[in-house]
Amino acid sequence: MMVESASETIRTTPSNQNGVSSLSSQSDGGGGREGGSNGDVNGEISPVDLLHLQQQQALQAARQFLLQQASGLNSPGSNEVKQSPVQVPVSMAMMSPQMITPQQMQQILSPPQLQALLQQQQALMLHHEEHTGSHPLYGHGECKWPGCEALCEDMGQFIKHLNNEHALDDRSTAQCRVQMQVVQQLEIQLAKESERLQAMMTHLHMRPSEPKPFNQPLNLASSGSLLKRDSDAYPEGLPHPPTSAATPITPLRQGPSVISSSSLHAHSHSHTHPVGPIRRRNSDKYCTPIASELAQNCEFYKNADVRPPFTYASLIRHAILESPDRQLTLNEIYNWFTRKFAYFRRNTATWKNAVRHNLSLHKCFVRVENVKGAVWTVDEVEYQKRRPPKMTGSPTLVKNMISGLGFGSLNASYQAALAESSLSLLNSPSLVTPPSAASLNMLHVGHDDVSSTVEQVNSNGSCSPTLSPQQYSHPVHVKEEPTEVEEDSRPVSLLAGVTHSLPLPSDERDLEEDLPTEELE
DNA sequence: GAGGTAATAAACATAC
DNA sequence: TGTATGTTTATTACCT
């Protein structure tokens, strides 16, 4: 099992979002035929790099072509123009890549021009890369032409193959157009993500003088843990932008933002522990808001063989709470797992056993007999109680955990989201009270309860801290699971009190993870 | 290193 | 008898 888990750790590295993975596989430089999910684990050029390169080449060629056309108009006596309408100096390839878009290129160029462009680019590529022994359409003995993957032993054979199979014809032209469309979509997506990133960074880069109640109570800013990690490398104190537009490689390796966290986490372990099961501990737990993560990457998890960065318990709970009646049979839980996660469509014996094990082990899961037979429900109080009791209010612990939240890690976007959520919560007059030593001392009472109330706040769509966690569980007849009074006797009012007095981001995971399940889809 | 938590595996019991 | 379901124990790994 260990070996299998290790291999899964590698596979956990997601490829890409929004259907890019399939594209990446076409130009995969080293990820084999599994959708390019392996990325550049060994420092190879990633598929995105190759794609980017191809994109740049196409753009450059188009620019060259257009410029050539223009120069031809302006300088009819130019020798180069006379030689060929599409032959251009290679030095022009250094032009700014933003001068023309693939869309513009398609609009501007007629099919014959596109063919000419293709021919020109091919000639250029053959000429400059035959010497270097490399070609963006050739890698690992395969032709990387979209949809080809023909095996070529060497560059010469590849060149021959390229000339024979991908000669200038309608098909190649059409494929080129498709590739342009792909690039165009990627650019649109990149622009959107860049804009979002910019907004997030702008938000996070608020000056200390600006109102930011999120930081004040715990003095997080002074601890420096929230941002310091990356401020070393990024002098402005901004979190390292993992999905920066300047680093197109990142999305491929990263995939869903939270996955990135866990993947990175797993990778970090895999460096030292090449084999072994994926163990998801606090760094994962506190970094993975399950509701928002699933909401954002629902399709990704459905299709990608990526292990979700959540515990079985949290997944089971989410499945149950997501159901209309907030109760599921074991089989329905199974179905939810397989429906939501491609990862759970295999190794069924393993994870199903784990599901059953978790259902039985955790008191938060209550077996109930109803008309459907045996169903499982969630006892929210128990669920909150079972959370790690390590948060004792120690500034060091708090700092470390918040530091572990990853403002320096790849899931910075989620930290921003968490911060936003915290801010909106804290900005609610009904919830915010001035922090006090007493309130801080109450941290140990139940940081999870904070999230519990947060969840209720969100689930109601309004800031109503009076809803008790118990209300998450349906009033059903419990056949088994006698209550342990000494453990269940924690007064709800105390929980609410903690929440009120602790605008604490200590459990942002819960804050997000416990978002109303309605947000899931 | 201790203690807690989670993942995994497995044995066993029970019901259908 | 086989399968699904449920419980329990043990081991291992990670984290604080």
Give the pLDDT confidence score for residue A157 in this predicted structure. Answer: 83
Distance B7 C1' – A302 CA (angstroms): 22
pLDDT tens by residue, A338-363 = 988 988 988 888 899 999 999 999 88
Partners of A105 in the beta sheet? none
Distance C13 C1' – A311 CA (angstroms): 15
Is A312 near strand B, with its CB below 7 A from some atom of it? Answer: yes
Which residue, counting CA atoms, is nearest to the C1' of nucleotide C4? A331
User: Do A65 and A116 meet the contact criterion of CB atoms below 8 Å apart?
Assistant: yes
Distance B16 C1' – A338 CA (angstroms): 25
User: Do A415 and A241 meet the contact criterion of CB atoms below 8 Å apart?
Assistant: no
Which residues are CB-contacts of A157 (< 8 A; sequence separation ≥ 6)?
none
Q: Where are the alpha helices (DSSP H) in A19-169?
A: 20-26, 47-74, 79-83, 102-108, 111-132, 155-165
What would the mean pLDDT of A396-410 be, rounded to a whole number? 33
pLDDT tens by residue, A379-390 = 888 887 765 433
Tell whether pTM > 0.85. no
**pLDDT band for position A46 (50/70/90)?**
very low
pLDDT tens by residue, A241-281 = 333 322 322 223 333 433 333 333 333 333 333 333 344 43
Residue A60, CA distances (Å) to A2, A78, A118, A127, A138 in order: 48, 20, 12, 16, 20
User: Do A400 and A356 meet the contact criterion of CB atoms below 8 Å apart?
Assistant: no
pLDDT tens by residue, A457-512 = 333 333 333 333 333 334 343 333 333 333 333 333 323 333 333 333 333 333 33
Please tell me the distance from the alpha carbon of residue A154 to that of residue A139, in angstroms, as a whole number.
Answer: 10
Please tell me the distance from the alpha carbon of residue A520 to that of residue A391, in angstroms, as a whole number.
Answer: 28
Q: Which nucleotide is nearest to A8 (CA to C1')?
A: B7
Residues constituting chain A: 521
Res. A158: pLDDT tops 50: yes
Q: Which nucleotide is nearest to A350 (CA to C1')?
A: B8
Which residues are CB-contacts of A245 (< 8 A; sequence separation ≥ 6)?
A190, A191, A193, A194, A197
Task: Output A293 or A317, whichever has higher pLDDT.
Answer: A317
| Residues A121-157 as b or e (16 or more Cβ within 10 Å = b) | bbebbeeebeeeeebbbbbeebbbbbebebebeebee
Which residue, counting CA atoms, is nearest to the C1' of nucleotide B9? A350
Please tell me the distance from the alpha carbon of residue A496 to that of residue A453, in angstroms, as a whole number.
Answer: 7
Percent of chain A scoring above 70 in pLDDT: 31
**pLDDT band for position A371 (50/70/90)?**
confident
Distance B11 C1' – A357 CA (angstroms): 13
Q: Which nucleotide is nearest to A2 (CA to C1')?
A: B8
Which residues are CB-contacts of A480 (< 8 A; sequence separation ≥ 6)?
A366, A367
What would the mean pLDDT of A312-330 be, rounded to a whole number? 91
Amino acid identity at A435: P
Among residues A12, A15, A11, A8, the alpha carbon closest in space to that of A29 is found at A15
